[in-house]
Structure 1
Amino acid sequence: MIVRSRAPLRLGFAGGGTDVSPYSDQFGGRILNATISLYAYATIIPKIDGKIHFVSQDLEKEVVYDSQETLPLDGTLDLLKGVYNRMVDEFNLGALSFELQTFVDAPAGSGLGTSSTLVVAIIGAFARWQNIPLGEYDVARLAYEIERKDLAMSGGKQDQYAATFGGINFMEFYADDKVIVNPLRIQKEHILELESNLVLFYTGSSRLSSKIIDVQIANTNKKVVKSLEAMHRLKQQATDMKNALLTGKLDTIGECLGEGWAFKKQMAEGISNPFIDEIYDRAMNAGCTGGKVSGAGGGGFMFFYCPNNTKRDVIKALGGLDGQVKQFNFVKEGLVTWNI
């Protein structure tokens, strides 16, 4: 029996960064995000050779170990090994023998939550293989703890919950790692119009989000007024954009994205750079009404709201730059697993 899983990547519309401790612990965080038709995949093939095989197909890396309960975290495919270590320890699985193959539709550090989504997909595959009953909150919490605590990777909480639950969600974050996921029931025509008017553009460069997030955390601890005020405004924007989607006031989306991008750049150094600014200016001059970088900033994917049939003009304007327009659709389904 072979086990497969997949989990969707996400676009962060508003509130990004307010899910990161200590801000979420002290002030509470709010985020609006939506999952899209780009995925992280995991396949587990049970073995009897007494070996553990890890194969990252997109990174073109492969490592093999003797079967054991705890694998060394040495900088090579630690994300995969970290999930294995935690699953074995948490659920008393003992040393296993298998091959784990993974693939992600977007590069690491691209701002779509790739690392967290991959962790969710791997957890799902292990849970199905070992018949471990995990609910959606259980999977997302476990993914968060593996990344943030076991592997000490800086970041927030939204990506794990988006990948697990799927759909368009308004999320709330509080102290003691409390998370509330509120699925939004948005009229189909509003979702279709939003999808039709968005351009997703890969800048051609990834970034190490943890560095930007570390600066953000430091600014919160130091109570830097400019940074905190920007985060307060971003949090309010998550509520404002949620209301706009629920009531069909899509003409305000672009402006809200633009305001959010201005606030986000005040949170920490390195969120924007001259190339990102050039991309943004070209899109605005071609008719988009606002946009932002998806994720922590510094590179990766950007997306723009382009109403009144300006989408093709924006795509054409971005065509002369290094980078790529990526087609996508919104998806409702989160983590799924199956056997073959």
Structure 2
Amino acid sequence: MIIRARAPLRLGLAGGGTDVSPYTDLHGGAVMNVTIDRYAYATVEPLAGDEIIVESVDLKRRRSYPVTARLPLDGELDIAKAVHNRIVADYGHGKTQAVRISTFSEAPAGSGLGSSSAIVVALVQAFTEWLGLPLGEYDVAHLAYVIERQDIGLHGGRQDQYAAAFGGFNFMEFYANDRVIVNPLKIKQEVANELASRTLLCFTGVSRESATIIAQQSDNVRAGATKSIEAMHALKASALTMKEALLRGDFGLLAETLREGWLQKRAMASGISNARIEEVQAAAMAAGAYAGKVSGAGGGGFMMLLAPLESRLGLIETLEAMGCRVEGCFFTQEGATAWRVRS
């Protein structure tokens, strides 16, 4: 028997960056996001024998270790190993067993779609199913956050874990002491359908390491950098406006909020935008897009573009001629889920 789990990737629509400490702890953050039909998968397979196998299918990496309570975090497949370590420590009484742990992501590393956090959530969900752990969505998301930020030491925010765990359109509030409130929104299906018809994901061809950008953003807040903090205040306000636009089906307000949010996001830290991003953005606007932003921390990865359906073909042709990969997406309602496969 094997246990499989999946968790959806997400698009940050507004407020991204205000879920990062210390801004969250000092001012409180707010984010509006939605999950899409791209997933991170995790598989847990109990084995007969005396080794633990850890592998990433999409990265084509594989390591094996003797059965031990703690696997080394040495830069090789640390996400899967850190989840194993935490589950064993918190729920396994320090005891482990032979097992194969594998992951697969439908988005490349550095995509800006929250793929790393979705992998962690999928892994936690798989172990929860296997061991029958009493973990709900909030528990899974918080545990995934702790594993990423504390156990592995990766810089980042909180929205990705909660988006992957809950799924759907969510307005999220973040406060001090890791207090999070997820407000699922009931968006009319016709609004979701029209938004999907206008949305394109454009991979710029440049993966990025978000940790550096996020660390600079956090340093700016600690240093009291007025420009960065005011930009984050504006981003938090934009999450509320985006929530209103979605509930009302006001696409004019939605586009305006996306455009303004991108301008504010660029002011949070250097490196969020660069020459390649600006080149792609300008070409997209000239080809018919009317709003766009980089997904995630910035610096590369995917851009979210809004354009009339009638302009889609010409926009795709323009961006693909620049070496970008362009694709549509659909929005999903289901968060992390797990199931058992009987061979």
Q: Please indicate the TM-score interval, normalised by the length of the shorter structure.
A: over 0.9
Aligned counterpart, 1:164 = 165
Query: Residue type of the partner of 1:307?
Result: P
CA displacement, residues 242-296 of structure 1 (integer Å, 9 cap, x when unaligned): 1001011012222221111111110001001111001000111122111100000
Q: Which amino acid aligns with 1:32?
A: M
After the TM superposition, list the runs of 4 or more consecutive aligned residues in structure 1 that deviate by more than 6 angstroms: none
Q: Name the SS for the 1:54 alignment partner.
A: strand
Is the CA contact (8 Å cut-off) linking 2:18 and 2:28 kept in structure 1?
yes
> Residue type matched to 1:189 in 2?
E
Q: Give the aligned residue type for 2:147.
A: I
The residue type equivalent to 2:314 in the other structure is: D
Aligned counterpart, 1:246: 247
The equivalent of 1:48 in structure 2 is: 48
Contact kept, 8 Å, 1:6 with 1:121, in 2: the verdict is yes
Written as runs of structure 1 = structure 2, the 5 A alignment for 1:166-315 is 166-307=167-308, 309-315=310-316
User: Which is further off, 291-300 or 95-104?
Assistant: 95-104
Give the TM-score normalised by the residue count of structure 2: 0.98
RMSD: 0.9
Name whichever of 251-260 and 157-166 sits farther off.
251-260
Contact 1:253–1:305 (CA under 8 A) maintained in structure 2: no
Give distance in 1, aligned partners of 2:7 and 2:97.
Answer: 24
- Structure 1: state its 5+ residue gaps: none
Aligned to 2:134: 133
Contact 1:207 1:298 in 2 (8 A): yes
| Contact map agreement 1:254 1:304 (CA 8 A) in 2 | no
Q: CA deviation at 1:92?
A: 2.4
Answer yes or no: is the 8 Å Cα contact 1:197–1:309 preserved in 2: no
- Within 1, Cα distance between the matches of 2:86 and 2:333? 28
Choose 183-192 or 86-95, whichever is displaced more.
86-95
Structure 2: which 5+ runs fail to align?
Answer: none
* Preserved CA contact (<8 Å) 2:199 2:328: no
For residues 212-244 of structure 1, the C-alpha deviation after alignment (integer angstroms, 9 at most, x for no partner) is: 000000000011011011111111111001100
Q: Which moved more, 1:93-102 or 1:141-150?
A: 93-102
CA contact 2:199–2:329 (8 Å) conserved in 1: no
Question: 1:14–1:241: 8 Å Cα contact kept in structure 2?
Answer: yes
Q: 1:146 maps to which residue?
A: 147
SS at match of 2:288: coil
Query: Deviation at 1:308?
Result: 6.2
1:16 aligns with 2:16: yes
In the aligned structure 2, how far is the partner of 1:149 from the partner of 1:102?
21
Alignment of 1:99-118 (within 5 A): 99-118=100-119
3-state SS in 1 of match to 2:193: helix
Query: CA offsets, 1:175-224, max 9 Å, x none?
Result: 00000000001111000000000111111111110000000000000110
**Sequence identity percentage:** 51
Deviates more, 1:305-314 or 1:239-248: 305-314
Which residue does 2:66 correspond to in 1? Answer: 66
Partner of 2:25: 25
What one-letter code is carried by the residue in structure 2 that aligns with 1:55? Answer: E
Size of the aligned set, in residue pairs, is 340
AA in 2 matched with 1:323:
C
Aligned partners of 2:196 and 2:328 also within 8 Å: no
> Is contact 1:116-1:159 (8 Å) kept?
yes
Matching residue's letter, 1:321 = M
Q: Distance in 1 between matches of 2:50 and 2:127?
A: 18
Q: Secondary structure at the match of 2:321?
A: coil
- Shift of the alpha carbon at 1:129? 0.8
Counterpart-to-counterpart distance in 2, 1:308 and 1:42? 35
Counterpart Cα distance in 2 of 1:310 and 1:252: 20
CA distance in 2: counterparts of 1:249 and 1:326, whole angstroms: 24
With 52-61 and 303-312 compared, the bigger mean Cα shift is at 303-312
Aligned residue in 2 for 1:84 = 84
Distance 2:135 2:27 in 1: 30
TM-score by length of 1: 0.98
Query: Which AA in structure 2 matches 1:222?
Result: A
Is 1:40–1:118's contact at 8 Å kept on the other side of the alignment? yes
1:34-86 residue CA offsets vs partner (Å, 9 max, x unmatched)? 00000000111110111100110111100000001111111100111000000
Rounded to whole Å, the distance in 2 between the matches of 1:326 and 1:195 is 11
